[in-house]
Amino acid sequence: MDNIISINNTNYEVEKYLGKKGIYDTYVVNNKSDGTKSICKSRTHSSNNDIYEKQLYKYITQNHNVLKFINPLQSQIIDKSTNKTHSFYPIINGITINNLLPHLKKLTPKEQEILIGIIIKNLLEAVSNLHKIQILHNNLNPDNIVVELGSSPMSIKLINFDFSCGKFWSNNSYKYKKCNKTMKIYNGKGILNNNHNKIPSIIATELISRKKWDCWCCGLICLELLLGDIVPWDKIRMQPNNNSEMNKIYWKTIYENYVKTNKITRNYVKLILENLIEFPFVKHNNPAKYTVDKIIIMEKYI
């Protein structure tokens, strides 16, 4: 691999290759003209995808309450000589939840309780604010949530929005499918809406009103923070059908273990199970907002 990415006569020196993440090759790059560092996500050029990505981030960054929870797109450059699109993002001084989990075990129970509570409330607030502007994160998992270090108060960033606001759920009544030009929404019989050439901000209205799958993913991350590695959370995330025999065993383990935890953890888990995991799309218009409000009230009286 060449360690120089040449783009429109501006050289970006590759400091570190971070690997293949979905359709992207991801790098830490150094801009040789001014010495600044960025995250560069490179993919095969597509005019439709370029427009889509710009629309999504432009729409998101217009809302201040959402902007503080995302890593905004800085710039996007097309390298016609290699048919690549390079998207540049600020480097976050932080640690992903996935990398943070082992460190939590080294803290005292009280320190864990305080830190986890802050992270959960930030995460729920981030998802809530995205829903208010009709955006769903299409891949909410512990690798795509970064806890900022050195920020006061502590905050998080959601990263890797990519191009869609849906997700494949082959065992659910909804299947969200990516194609090279538009996002199409299927219900197993056909397209839910006639005009499916929509940017995520509009298309997500139908998704949010029916199945808040990112709330379910958010709830799963909260449970992992609160209960530790009692079950293989990634397997549950990949197979969200709770009726499978293996998932029944996993969920039985979760319910059996949470009742043995201390009072405040037990109350956190109970709120998350009731409002994010079980039937969030039926009970509340904005489950993330409802849950974080309930947590704040609970913390005051326990």
Share of the chain above pLDDT 70, in %: 73
pLDDT(52) > 70: no
The amino acid that residue 137 corresponds to is H
Residue 48 has pLDDT above 70, yes or no: no
Residue 41 tokens read as: 């996500």
Tens digit of each residue's pLDDT (9 = 90 or more) over 132-176: 776 777 778 899 999 998 777 788 999 887 544 433 333 333 333
Query: What is the rounded (10 degree) CA torsion for 76, 77, 78, 84?
Result: -80
**Is 94-301 a CATH 3.40.50.300 domain?**
no
Q: Any idea which fold 4-89 has?
A: Phosphorylase Kinase; domain 1 (3.30.200)
Is the pLDDT at 190 greater than 50? The verdict is no
Low-confidence winner among 16-30, 46-60, 97-111 (lowest mean pLDDT)? 46-60
Q: What is the pLDDT of residues 214-241, one digit of tens each?
A: 788 899 999 999 999 999 998 887 766 5
The per-residue b/e assignment along 257-287, b for 16 or more CB within 10 angstroms, e otherwise, is ebeeeeeebebbbebbbbbbbeebbeebebb
Write the CA distances from 108 to 36, 111, 152, 246, 247, integer angstroms: 38, 5, 21, 33, 31
Instruction: Parse the chain into domains and list their residue ranges.
Output: 4-89, 94-301
Can you tell me the mean pLDDT for 39-47? 84
Task: Give me the mean pLDDT over the 106-133 stretch.
Answer: 91
